[in-house]
Amino acid sequence: MGKKPAPPPDLVPGTLEMLILKTLTHGAMHGYGIAQRLDQLSEGVLQVGEGSLYPALQRLLLNEWAEAEWAVTENNRRARYYHITAAGRRRLAQERAGYDRMSVAIARVMEAV
Amino acid sequence: MRRLWKRLHRFRHRKQFDADLAEELEFHRRLKQEELQAAGLTEPESRYAAQRRMGNLALATEDARGIWLWHNLETLWQDFAYGLRGLARHRGFTLTAVLTLALGIGVNTSLFTGFNAMVFRSWDVRDPGRVAGVFTVHRTPSGEIRYRGMSYPEFSTLRDQTKQMAGLVALSYGGPQMRTDPGASSRLSINYVSGDYFQVLGVDAAWGRTFTRDEDQLADPRAVLVLSHAAWVSQFGSDRSIVGRTISLNYKPFVVLGVLPENFKGTDMVGPDLWTPLAAIRILQPRSTELSSADQCCVAVFGRLAPNVDRAQARDELTAIQRQAAERFNRPANEIFLTRASIVVTPERQKKIMPAMLLLFLAVSLVLLIACANVANLLLARGAARQHEIGVRLALGAGRLRIIRQLLTESLSLGLLGGAAGIGLSLVLPGFVLNHLADEPLALDLQPDYRVLLYTLFLSILASVACGLVPAFHTTRTDLHATMKGSGGRSGRPSWLRTSLLGAQVAFSLVLLASTGLLVRGLQRAARIDPGFDTRGIVLMSLDLGMLDYDAVRAQDFLRRLTDRVSALPGVTSVSTAVIAPLGNARMRTSVAVNGQEALAKNGLNNVTFNEVSPGFLETLRIPITQGRSFQAQDQGRKVAIINQAMAQRFWPGLNPVGRTFTSDVAYEVIGVSRNAQETQLGRAIEPYYYSLSNGSSSSQLVIRFQDTFNAPLSELTALPTQLDQAVRPRLRLMEESIQSQLHGARMASFISGGLGLLALLLACVGIYGVTAFVVQQRFREIGIRMALGAQRRDVLFLLLSQNLRIVVAGALVGVAASVAAASALREFLYGISPLDPAAHIAMTAILLSAALLATFLPARRAASIQPVVILRQE
């Protein structure tokens, strides 16, 4: 009966995984890098707390959408790098299709008078 | 599945995973700190800010770990460890609870072990799942279904034509045969089996070999045999050189081919001593028509399904063949029914033991219920003593469900410990009971198998929940405020819950005790039942002349000479012969026709029991003639009969039957009416019965009456038949012994129910003692104050006694009502004792009440010896 980590506010459950997978498509990254990148790309809108980020990463590992291995950073420090798997890419494509459909649908509703 | 595997993998390497996660988060924190430092904060400032920005690191870690769900596994393990530590600390409580559960679960597991061995266990043969018992299904006129074997000619037709069975074999139970080696004399039980019996079952000899189909040719029977392991040990001293030697059965030499392995005990409930080919019946019992007549019932048939054939296909094919064969043999066309290869193989026998099994299961369930109620009470008491601890934990923010889960884990540990100990009990108990109670050693494998283990596990969990759930909820429903003040949970009276648990225990144990009382009364009554004849001084001698190939003339001559010699012995007052020994548990039945009473046949009321006797039989047993006359010597050879009063009443109600006739195979003239007597089985309803005169051919029971002052030289009696014919080995039995063995079932029932009843009483008393002791402890202060205010010792005693007495009496009332209902199921063993029998109920209730009072008195006395000063000083 472990408590489920709360999703970050205003993020539909599962969306965070989609975003992480998307950032991983450009290459392997460590947790801090992922958080930074999400922050940059969303221009500060998506501030992902560590309390959500690491559980999400564990979920990706559990589902085999991502793999992790320890490597050395450019500053010569040990960090755990995550990279996306083939299953992860398939998952991302699915999520993306669903997301596109949903956003189009939402836009239509919002634009209807 | 894959995810589960990953989770387990992760659980196994959890240390590594934790370290990785911690390092990862620390790395994250360091980068964040550096970022802040770069923005101009000092090192301590940045470290603090980074930590704050990271939020609750411990929670994040827990959450990340929680993804893998082994959080639960871990807390479960923690709960177990915590529970076990708590149990280890309270050894007295733990020991009592575990022992109680062990007894409750142990008797259940023991019964299941026996049940499993009889019904579920397969024979120890190759691939027993493919072996089937083959039965023909008969429907009686009243619509009942009977399962029978088939005649040997029908069997051989099936065997020759079947394609769906890879092998079909027959077995005929030969009854005990005599081993007549010089210097050795004993009875060995035989199974006559098809030549390929062992090949089809897939059983090999441990030494030597088994026989083959070539040795089972009807035209050329071979005198060969295979020994069971048990007989090899008991009869031949485990001598391996017995293989290849010749032993003598009924004075016919037989070659021992081999010895079977220890675990194969045959395909019947009682394992035989030896197996011979079916054809050897022609050697041992030359007069037997078993192998040639389609009217002879029955051989038991087993088979092995051909590869890729299921039971339904085999059944359909065998039914089709059987129907064709039936036409040819002029027999009714029956369906075929296939059963599993279990020890109690026939559906018939299963039907017979099921009601008894059901009763036993009910009885042991009662014991387990009492045990559970006991442990529940102990847990309640313990919970009350832990109110403070639990109150504190609740106050500190533990969820109620979390604490309930923890308490349940604790009772689960109790249940599992109890179950383990229960299995230990079931290793010895079933064997002990069977050895002491069974008529003959049963071929049962009582080792626990996976079914027994699963059953015990299931029972243990069930018992844990049954005894743990209510106390867990009850204990956590606590008033925080009062608890923290230190006075919580000190209500003076036992809760309604504990009261009703106690009452239920009393009721359940009274059911078992009262059943015992009724059974014992039944036994007493049975011992005094008048069988309708004088049993004192009667000796029965059984001769089995048929086995020794005697024909009617030789048998009659032998019996006449033997009778003369026995009569000449001192103290013998009369001697007669009969086909069936009185109270021998055997009977012959026939249907009779009487002019004008054809209607009786429709309801099956024309079936009567009969016996063939010598002229002096009724006088020997001292059965009085009420009408007409008895047999006389000159009646020999005539078709005359004496009927009992029950038969007279059925066929000629209100008329004088003397001089009238009835027809069975031939017409008989009734020459007299005898008083009703119990001929077959003690305590059974009197059946219509007739005696006719035997021609001596199959009479082999000698009924000998000695003078009432019975002090007979039995050895001399045993020697007489053997002096006349070397081959004859008589068996002697006193009539009194026969009666004792008749009561075997009732004695067994009262023994088992007595054992369970005592166990139940013991458990209930432990429960009463425990609860009272607890109440006394809880009310220490109140009692002290009462005494300080002037209450006397006896007032205190009375207070506690009366409180318990009310519960016990209420429980006893319910128990009496329930046991009256239960007793009707025992009717067979009550020999006419009413289920309401006051003696049994009053005696057992009195025992229960005194035991309950004693269990109350011991702790209550302690309360009454409280020194008020001590209590007041504590306050």
Query: Does the pLDDT value for residue B221 go beyond 70?
Result: yes
pLDDT bucket at A4, cuts 50 / 70 / 90: very low
Size of interface A-B (CB pairs under 8 A): 72
| Distance to chain A for B45, nearest Cα, Å | 20
pLDDT bucket at B67, cuts 50 / 70 / 90: low
pLDDT of B661-700, one tens digit each?
Answer: 998 888 999 999 999 988 877 777 788 999 999 876 665 7
Q: How many domains does chain B have?
A: 5
Residue-number span of the structural domain to which B810 is assigned: 497-531+741-874
Residues 36-75 of B with CB under 8 A from A: 54-57, 59-69, 71-72
pLDDT of B103-153, one tens digit each?
Answer: 999 999 999 998 888 888 888 888 888 898 888 888 766 677 778 888 888
Highest averaged pLDDT of the listed ranges B70-84, B127-141, B759-773, B843-857: B843-857
User: Which carries the bigger pLDDT value, residue B777 or residue A56?
Assistant: A56
Does any domain span residue B492?
no
Tell the residue number behind the tokens 């309708």, with chain if given: B532
What pLDDT shows up at residue B699? 59
| Distance to chain A for B28, nearest Cα, Å | 5
A58: nearest CB among B27, B56, B68: B68
CATH fit for domain A15-111, picks 3.30.70.2190, 3.40.50.80, 1.10.10.10, 3.40.630.30: 1.10.10.10
CA atoms of B168 and B305, how far apart (whole Å): 9
Mutation target to probe the A interface, by most A beta carbons within 10 A, among B27, B53, B54 is: B27
pLDDT bucket at B624, cuts 50 / 70 / 90: very high
Mark whether B276 and B160 lie in a shared domain: yes
**Contact yes or no for B72 and A2 at CB 8 A:** yes
Tokens of B626: 């009420």
pLDDT bucket at B485, cuts 50 / 70 / 90: low
> For residue A47, what is the nearest residue in chain B, using CA coordinates?
B53
Query: Does the pLDDT value for residue B581 go beyond 60?
Result: yes
DSSP category for residue B123: P
Residues 82-111 of A with CB under 8 A from B: none
Mark whether B149 and B3 lie in a shared domain: no
pLDDT bucket at A2, cuts 50 / 70 / 90: very low
Does any domain span residue B491?
no
What pLDDT shows up at residue B859? 83
Q: Secondary structure of A36-93 in the HEC alphabet?
A: HHHHHHCCCCCCCCHHHHHHHHHHHHHCCCEEEEEEECCCCCEEEEEEECHHHHHHHH
Number of neighbours of residue B745 by Cβ within 10 angstroms: 15
Q: Among B361-370, B530-539, B655-664, where is mean pLDDT lowest?
A: B530-539
| All structural domains of chain A with their residue ranges | 15-111
Does any domain span residue B368?
yes
Crossing angle, helix B744-778 and helix B793-823, to 10 degrees? 150
**Contact yes or no for B67 and A55 at CB 8 A:** yes
Q: Is B351 on the interface with A (CB under 8 A)?
A: no
B27: nearest CB among A1, A32, A63: A32
Mark whether B166 and B185 lie in a shared domain: yes
A51: nearest CB among B24, B30, B60: B60
- Maximum pairwise Cα distance, chain A: 58
CA atoms of B704 and B815, how far apart (whole Å): 49
3-state secondary structure of B759: helix
pLDDT of A51-82, one tens digit each?
Answer: 788 888 888 888 888 888 888 887 788 888 99
Mark whether B600 and B730 lie in a shared domain: yes
**Contact yes or no for A63 and B3 at CB 8 A:** yes
Query: Does the pLDDT value for residue B71 go beyond 70?
Result: no
Residues 26-85 of A with CB under 8 A from B: 30-32, 35, 49-51, 54-55, 57-59, 62-64, 70, 77-80
A32: nearest CB among B20, B28, B64: B28
Mark whether B59 and B83 lie in a shared domain: no
| Distance to chain A for B44, nearest Cα, Å | 21
pLDDT bucket at B228, cuts 50 / 70 / 90: very high
Mutation target to probe the A interface, by most A beta carbons within 10 A, among B18, B31, B403 is: B31
Tokens of B558: 């032998």
| Distance to chain B for A1, nearest Cα, Å | 6
Mark whether B203 and B294 lie in a shared domain: yes
**Quick one: CA dihedral B83, B88, B92, B97, positive or negative?**
positive
Mark whether B261 and B143 lie in a shared domain: yes
**Contact yes or no for B27 and A5 at CB 8 A:** no
Which of these three, B52, B67, B82, is where a domain ends?
Answer: B67
Mark whether B734 and B753 lie in a shared domain: no
pLDDT of B24-66, one tens digit each?
Answer: 888 888 888 888 888 888 888 888 877 776 666 666 677 776 6
Please list every residue in chain A whose beta carbon sits closer than 8 Å to the beta carbon of residue B62: 2
Average of per-residue pLDDT across B492-516: 80
Average of per-residue pLDDT across B72-100: 81
What pLDDT shows up at residue B56? 65
Does any domain span residue B490?
no
Report whether A99 contacts A16 (CB < 8 A).
no
Number of neighbours of residue B26 by Cβ within 10 angstroms: 11
pLDDT bucket at B708, cuts 50 / 70 / 90: low
Average of per-residue pLDDT across B760-781: 80
pLDDT of B363-414, one tens digit each?
Answer: 899 899 989 988 988 888 888 777 778 888 887 777 788 888 888 888 999 9
> For residue A35, what is the nearest residue in chain B, using CA coordinates?
B28
> For residue A59, what is the nearest residue in chain B, using CA coordinates?
B67
pLDDT of B250-307, one tens digit each?
Answer: 778 999 999 999 888 888 777 889 999 999 988 887 777 778 777 767 788 999 999 9
**Contact yes or no for A51 and B21 at CB 8 A:** no
Tokens of B707: 């003078």
Tokens of B148: 């029978």
pLDDT, mean over chain B: 83
Mark whether B722 and B772 lie in a shared domain: no
**Contact yes or no for B25 and A54 at CB 8 A:** yes
Mutation target to probe the B interface, by most B beta carbons within 10 A, among A29, A32, A60 is: A32
B66: nearest CB among A3, A35, A78: A3
**Contact yes or no for B55 and A50 at CB 8 A:** yes
B63: nearest CB among A1, A30, A55: A55
**Contact yes or no for A54 and B66 at CB 8 A:** no
Mark whether B395 and B542 lie in a shared domain: no
Does any domain span residue B244?
yes
**Rounded alpha-carbon distances, angstroms, from residue B867 to B64, B487, B860:** 61, 22, 14
Residue from B569, B531, B579, B554 nearest B702 by CA: B579
Query: Does the pLDDT value for residue B204 go beyond 70?
Result: yes
CA atoms of B868 and B855, how far apart (whole Å): 24
Q: Is A2 on the interface with B (CB under 8 A)?
A: yes
What pLDDT shows up at residue B103? 92
Does any domain span residue B218?
yes
Please list every residue in chain A whose beta carbon sits closer than 8 Å to the beta carbon of residue B18: none
Query: Does the pLDDT value for residue A9 go beyond 60?
Result: no
Please list every residue in chain B whose beta carbon sits closer than 8 Å to the beta carbon of residue A62: 3, 6-7, 67-68
Mutation target to probe the B interface, by most B beta carbons within 10 A, among A47, A53, A54, A67 is: A54
Task: Report cis status (omega within 30 of 0) of the bond before B467.
Answer: no
| Distance to chain B for A21, nearest Cα, Å | 17
> For residue A60, what is the nearest residue in chain B, using CA coordinates?
B67
Mark whether B704 and B580 lie in a shared domain: yes
pLDDT bucket at B196, cuts 50 / 70 / 90: very high
Query: Does the pLDDT value for residue A5 go beyond 50?
Result: no
Please list every residue in chain A whose beta carbon sits closer than 8 Å to the beta carbon of residue B20: 70, 80
What pLDDT shows up at residue B142? 67
> For residue A54, what is the nearest residue in chain B, using CA coordinates?
B64
What pLDDT shows up at residue B24? 83
Q: Is B6 on the interface with A (CB under 8 A)?
A: yes
DSSP category for residue B279: G
Mark whether B448 and B335 lie in a shared domain: no
Please list every residue in chain A whose beta carbon sits closer than 8 Å to the beta carbon of residue B61: 54
| Distance to chain B for A113, nearest Cα, Å | 43
Q: Among A22-31, B7-16, B213-222, B280-289, where is mean pLDDT lowest?
A: B7-16
Query: Does the pLDDT value for residue A8 go beyond 50?
Result: no
